[in-house]
Amino acid sequence: MKHLTFLLLCAAFMGLAFTNPASNAVVVYKVDTGARTLKWTAAKVTGKHFGKVTIKSGTLEMSKAKLVKASFEANMASLTVEDGGGNERLRGHLTSDDFFSTEKHPTATFTSTKITAKDKSGNFTIVGNMTIKGITKSITFDANVKPEGGKVMGTAAIKLDRTDYDIKFRSGKFFPDLGDKLIYDEFELEVSLVAAK
Protein backbone atom coordinates (compact mmCIF):
# COMPACT_ATOMS: atom_id res chain seq x y z
CA MET A 1 0.00 0.00 0.00
CA LYS A 2 2.82 2.38 0.92
CA HIS A 3 4.55 1.49 -2.33
CA LEU A 4 1.38 2.28 -4.31
CA THR A 5 0.96 5.62 -2.53
CA PHE A 6 4.57 6.50 -3.29
CA LEU A 7 4.09 5.70 -6.98
CA LEU A 8 0.93 7.83 -7.15
CA LEU A 9 2.75 10.78 -5.55
CA CYS A 10 5.61 10.42 -8.02
CA ALA A 11 3.14 10.38 -10.90
CA ALA A 12 1.44 13.51 -9.57
CA PHE A 13 4.73 15.39 -9.27
CA MET A 14 5.79 14.24 -12.74
CA GLY A 15 2.49 15.52 -14.10
CA LEU A 16 3.03 18.91 -12.52
CA ALA A 17 6.56 19.06 -13.83
CA PHE A 18 5.46 18.46 -17.39
CA THR A 19 2.20 20.43 -17.49
CA ASN A 20 3.02 23.66 -15.67
CA PRO A 21 5.90 24.80 -17.88
CA ALA A 22 3.81 24.18 -20.98
CA SER A 23 0.88 26.15 -19.63
CA ASN A 24 3.17 29.13 -18.95
CA ALA A 25 5.21 28.77 -22.13
CA VAL A 26 6.06 31.96 -24.00
CA VAL A 27 4.70 32.10 -27.55
CA VAL A 28 6.26 34.49 -30.06
CA TYR A 29 3.92 36.29 -32.47
CA LYS A 30 5.38 38.11 -35.47
CA VAL A 31 3.92 41.47 -36.46
CA ASP A 32 2.17 41.52 -39.84
CA THR A 33 4.27 44.26 -41.42
CA GLY A 34 2.13 44.46 -44.54
CA ALA A 35 -1.03 45.29 -42.65
CA ARG A 36 0.10 47.80 -40.06
CA THR A 37 2.00 51.09 -39.82
CA LEU A 38 2.80 53.71 -37.23
CA LYS A 39 0.85 56.95 -37.50
CA TRP A 40 2.76 60.03 -36.39
CA THR A 41 1.34 63.42 -35.42
CA ALA A 42 3.35 66.57 -34.75
CA ALA A 43 2.18 70.11 -34.06
CA LYS A 44 3.38 73.67 -34.46
CA VAL A 45 1.91 77.02 -33.46
CA THR A 46 0.02 77.37 -36.73
CA GLY A 47 -1.30 73.80 -37.06
CA LYS A 48 -0.26 70.17 -37.19
CA HIS A 49 0.95 67.51 -39.58
CA PHE A 50 0.51 63.75 -39.65
CA GLY A 51 1.56 60.76 -41.69
CA LYS A 52 2.78 57.20 -41.45
CA VAL A 53 5.92 55.11 -41.06
CA THR A 54 5.98 51.44 -42.02
CA ILE A 55 6.96 48.73 -39.57
CA LYS A 56 9.92 46.70 -40.82
CA SER A 57 9.65 43.93 -38.23
CA GLY A 58 8.30 43.26 -34.77
CA THR A 59 7.34 40.62 -32.22
CA LEU A 60 4.89 40.30 -29.34
CA GLU A 61 5.71 37.56 -26.83
CA MET A 62 2.78 36.19 -24.85
CA SER A 63 2.42 33.83 -21.89
CA LYS A 64 -1.24 32.82 -22.00
CA ALA A 65 -3.00 36.19 -22.32
CA LYS A 66 -0.16 38.17 -20.73
CA LEU A 67 2.28 40.24 -22.74
CA VAL A 68 5.84 39.55 -21.57
CA LYS A 69 7.94 41.25 -24.26
CA ALA A 70 7.44 43.57 -27.21
CA SER A 71 9.70 44.97 -29.91
CA PHE A 72 9.50 46.59 -33.32
CA GLU A 73 11.70 48.18 -35.95
CA ALA A 74 10.38 51.07 -38.04
CA ASN A 75 11.57 52.01 -41.52
CA MET A 76 12.12 55.75 -41.11
CA ALA A 77 12.89 56.18 -44.81
CA SER A 78 9.27 55.21 -45.52
CA LEU A 79 7.95 58.29 -43.69
CA THR A 80 4.97 59.90 -45.40
CA VAL A 81 3.03 63.15 -44.89
CA GLU A 82 -0.72 62.85 -45.45
CA ASP A 83 -2.38 66.04 -44.25
CA GLY A 84 -2.52 68.25 -47.34
CA GLY A 85 -0.55 70.14 -49.97
CA GLY A 86 3.23 70.44 -50.01
CA ASN A 87 3.64 66.93 -48.65
CA GLU A 88 6.71 65.99 -50.67
CA ARG A 89 8.54 69.15 -49.65
CA LEU A 90 7.73 68.56 -45.98
CA ARG A 91 8.63 64.89 -46.28
CA GLY A 92 12.02 65.87 -47.68
CA HIS A 93 12.59 68.19 -44.74
CA LEU A 94 11.52 65.60 -42.15
CA THR A 95 13.90 63.00 -43.59
CA SER A 96 16.79 65.51 -43.69
CA ASP A 97 19.40 66.18 -41.01
CA ASP A 98 17.16 68.88 -39.49
CA PHE A 99 14.89 66.08 -38.30
CA PHE A 100 15.29 62.29 -38.66
CA SER A 101 18.40 61.99 -40.88
CA THR A 102 16.99 58.89 -42.56
CA GLU A 103 19.97 58.36 -44.89
CA LYS A 104 22.27 58.03 -41.87
CA HIS A 105 19.68 56.44 -39.57
CA PRO A 106 17.16 54.52 -41.71
CA THR A 107 15.55 52.64 -38.81
CA ALA A 108 14.13 53.35 -35.37
CA THR A 109 13.68 50.56 -32.83
CA PHE A 110 11.83 49.81 -29.61
CA THR A 111 12.45 46.96 -27.16
CA SER A 112 10.57 46.53 -23.90
CA THR A 113 12.46 46.16 -20.62
CA LYS A 114 9.53 45.87 -18.19
CA ILE A 115 5.84 45.12 -18.68
CA THR A 116 3.23 45.39 -15.93
CA ALA A 117 -0.36 44.23 -16.28
CA LYS A 118 -2.88 46.88 -15.19
CA ASP A 119 -5.93 44.61 -15.27
CA LYS A 120 -7.25 41.42 -16.87
CA SER A 121 -8.58 43.21 -19.97
CA GLY A 122 -5.27 43.38 -21.82
CA ASN A 123 -4.11 46.76 -20.50
CA PHE A 124 -0.39 47.02 -19.74
CA THR A 125 2.16 49.64 -18.77
CA ILE A 126 5.26 49.15 -20.90
CA VAL A 127 8.75 50.47 -20.17
CA GLY A 128 11.40 50.11 -22.84
CA ASN A 129 14.20 51.57 -24.92
CA MET A 130 13.36 53.68 -27.96
CA THR A 131 16.23 54.33 -30.36
CA ILE A 132 15.97 57.13 -32.93
CA LYS A 133 18.96 58.57 -34.83
CA GLY A 134 21.19 56.19 -32.89
CA ILE A 135 20.13 57.70 -29.56
CA THR A 136 18.44 55.43 -27.02
CA LYS A 137 16.07 56.71 -24.34
CA SER A 138 13.87 54.87 -21.84
CA ILE A 139 10.18 55.58 -22.38
CA THR A 140 6.94 54.52 -20.65
CA PHE A 141 3.49 54.18 -22.19
CA ASP A 142 0.21 52.29 -21.82
CA ALA A 143 -0.94 49.70 -24.33
CA ASN A 144 -3.78 47.27 -24.90
CA VAL A 145 -2.61 43.86 -26.10
CA LYS A 146 -4.74 40.74 -26.21
CA PRO A 147 -5.29 37.50 -28.13
CA GLU A 148 -8.10 37.54 -30.66
CA GLY A 149 -8.98 34.81 -33.15
CA GLY A 150 -5.61 33.07 -32.98
CA LYS A 151 -3.74 36.35 -33.40
CA VAL A 152 -2.60 39.10 -31.04
CA MET A 153 -3.93 42.65 -31.44
CA GLY A 154 -2.08 45.60 -29.95
CA THR A 155 -2.70 49.34 -29.74
CA ALA A 156 -0.81 52.14 -28.01
CA ALA A 157 -0.23 55.89 -28.09
CA ILE A 158 3.41 56.79 -27.50
CA LYS A 159 4.39 60.38 -26.76
CA LEU A 160 8.00 61.34 -27.43
CA ASP A 161 10.11 64.48 -27.02
CA ARG A 162 12.03 64.99 -30.27
CA THR A 163 14.80 66.92 -28.52
CA ASP A 164 15.72 63.73 -26.63
CA TYR A 165 16.88 62.46 -30.02
CA ASP A 166 18.85 65.57 -31.04
CA ILE A 167 16.04 67.01 -33.18
CA LYS A 168 16.24 70.70 -32.29
CA PHE A 169 14.93 72.48 -35.39
CA ARG A 170 12.70 75.40 -34.28
CA SER A 171 12.49 74.05 -30.73
CA GLY A 172 11.62 76.58 -28.06
CA LYS A 173 14.14 74.90 -25.73
CA PHE A 174 17.03 76.00 -27.93
CA PHE A 175 15.76 78.93 -30.00
CA PRO A 176 13.93 81.81 -28.24
CA ASP A 177 11.51 84.23 -29.86
CA LEU A 178 10.40 81.90 -32.65
CA GLY A 179 6.86 83.24 -32.55
CA ASP A 180 4.55 81.40 -34.93
CA LYS A 181 7.52 79.52 -36.41
CA LEU A 182 7.87 77.41 -33.26
CA ILE A 183 7.46 73.64 -33.61
CA TYR A 184 6.40 71.80 -30.45
CA ASP A 185 8.84 69.27 -29.07
CA GLU A 186 6.33 66.53 -28.31
CA PHE A 187 5.07 64.26 -31.07
CA GLU A 188 2.92 61.14 -30.92
CA LEU A 189 3.08 57.68 -32.45
CA GLU A 190 -0.20 55.81 -32.72
CA VAL A 191 0.59 52.11 -32.85
CA SER A 192 -1.82 49.49 -34.14
CA LEU A 193 -0.42 45.98 -34.56
CA VAL A 194 -1.62 42.56 -35.63
CA ALA A 195 0.70 39.65 -34.91
CA ALA A 196 0.47 35.95 -35.72
CA LYS A 197 2.51 32.82 -34.96
Q: Where do the structural domains in the chain lie, given as residue ranges? A: 30-196
Average pLDDT of the chain, as a whole number: 90
Report the distance separating Cα 32 and Cα 108, nearest Å.
17
Over residues 66-91, the mean pLDDT reads 94
- CATH class label, 30-196: mainly beta
Q: What percent of the chain has pLDDT over 70?
A: 88
Instruction: Give the model confidence (pLDDT) of 172-193 as tens digits.
Output: 999 999 999 999 999 999 999 9
pLDDT of 81 > 90? The answer is yes
pLDDT reported for residue 1: 52
> Span 138-156, mean pLDDT?
97
> What mean pLDDT do residues 123-129 have?
99
Q: Which of 16-25, 74-83, 109-118, 141-150 has the lowest mean pLDDT?
A: 16-25
- Residue 3 pLDDT class (50, 70, 90 cuts): low
- For the cut 70, the answer to whether the pLDDT of residue 23 exceeds it is no
